[in-house]
Amino acid sequence: MVIITAGMIGVGKTTLTKLISEHLGTEPFYEPVADNPVLPLYYSNPKQYGFLLQIYFLNRRFSMIKAALADDNNVLDRSIYEDALFTEQNHLDGNISDQEMNVYNELLNNMMSELKGLKKKAPDLMIYADTDFETILYRIKKRARPYEQFDNNPSLRDYYHKMWAAYKQWYEEYDKSPKIKIDLQHWNLEDPENQKVVLSMIDDKLADLRGKSFRMRIA
Annotated binding site for substrate: 31, 43, 54, 78, 83, 148
- 77 in catalytic set: yes
Which of 35, 71, 72, 77 is labelled catalytic?
77
CB 180 within 8 A of CB 128: yes
Annotated binding site for ATP: 7-15, 139-143
Q: State the binding site.
A: 7-15, 31, 43, 54, 78, 83, 139-143, 148
Q: Is 191 exposed, middle or buried (0-12, 13-18, 19+ CB in 10 A)?
A: exposed
Can you give the three-state secondary structure of 58-103, one letter per residue? HHHHHHHHHHHHHHCCEEEECCHHHHHHHHHHHHHCCCCCHHHHHH
Q: Would you name the residues annotated as active-site residues?
A: 77
